[in-house]
Amino acid sequence: MRILVSSWFIRPGISGGWGTVADLLQPAHFMAFLGASVPAGMTSCEGVPITALSRRARMKEGWPAFNRIRESLQRRALACETAAAFRRFRADIVLCTDEWAASGACDAGLPFAIRFHSRPGLLQGEAYRKLLDASLFATGSQLDFPGAIYLPHSIDLDRFTYSEPGKAESAVMTASLVQAERPDIFVRGTALSGLTGTIAGDGPMREEIRTLCAETGGRVRLVPPVNRKSLPALLSEHQIGVACLEKGWHTSFQMKVTEYQAAGLFPVVMPWSDLAVTAPDLTRTFTDEAGLASVLDGIRRDWASTLDIRRRNRDFAHARYHVRDARKRFEEILAGLPPSLRPSS
């Protein structure tokens, strides 16, 4: 099928959601992308054509909900731009990753489905139920997603080469450089430890993180984000993978952790991370930079004794998050669509 992915929050090539969607659809389907968080000037990513929504179509602070005229103009612009992308790419359906993107496809009268990347919450009550009723189908990454078919987050873990290095010398964090992912804690915590570190990413906090890295005297470096196909090479240069997350954030699952596990890195997370909650014996946790430094130094000292945990992490990731099962389930869902929607050449 020819599928237009529409998303409010995914940053192509950077966000974890980009990899989960791209791995789910490719290579079986044509994929194009329409988004509100597309980096300036981007028109293509990993061979996928990219279209950025205009300022008018984006639901940002400049369009207050109480101003009904402006809200109406915004919704009309979003619907028009979604329809235009749908025609340009000769799409069969729009696959939306959140309610705002789905509202644009719905208002445009297009066939759409929802692949919830994180827990619903942008629309409430009757508005949410109407959107689900209008969709072809909806999937959610957790068992208790309201009104959605369970389809867990997953990626192609065969891209990663598992290894068992003899010692731990460096830590890495891949991230969108935003407050929710607390990249500042990684930089400061790693600098306090006996390890070196790399943070790979981009976002609004880039200059702040660049300055923090410079203050470490080279102990922690900032590098541009790497795409999903180049990520295994970056991870292979490190032994510990760190994932920071602001407490109370709307989603606790971080795909970077699964990538760390598949590559043989020891995953270090915060106590409210999904891994810490579901499999606390597979990780060590921290809450601030001093705690991170302590954990990193402890793992470095006891590296040989962590081998069994690293192996169990690899098995855990492959059993739960390999894309092969999600692809099979997704194809079964598509097979149930009306014949008029499948497939297009």
Q: What total number of domains does the chain contain?
A: 2
Percent share of the chain, pLDDT over 90: 74
Q: pTM value?
A: 0.83
Q: What is the pLDDT of residue 76?
A: 92
Residues 6+ apart with CB under 8 A from 338: none
Looking at every residue in the chain, the average pLDDT score rounds to 91
Q: Are residues 9 and 81 in the same domain?
A: yes
Residue among 191, 12, 1, 182 nearest 97 (CA): 12
Does residue 344 belong to any structural domain of this protein?
Answer: no
CA dist 42 and 152 (Å) reads 29
| pLDDT tens, residue by residue, 86-113 | 999 999 999 999 999 999 999 999 999 9
Q: List Cβ neighbours of 239 (8 Å cut-off, separation of 6 or more).
A: 165, 167, 168, 169, 170, 171, 265, 266, 303
Say if residue 218 is in the same domain as residue 229.
yes
In the prediction, which pLDDT does 14 show?
Answer: 77
Q: Are 273 and 245 in contact (CB under 8 A)?
A: yes
- Are residues 186 and 134 part of one domain? no
**Rounded Cα distance, 173 and 256, in Å:** 8
In a domain, 241, yes or no: yes
Domain range enclosing 135: 2-155+322-339
pLDDT band at 345 (very low <50, low <70, confident <90, very high): very low
Whole-number pLDDT of residue 62: 47
Indicate which CATH number applies to the domain containing 305: 3.40.50.2000
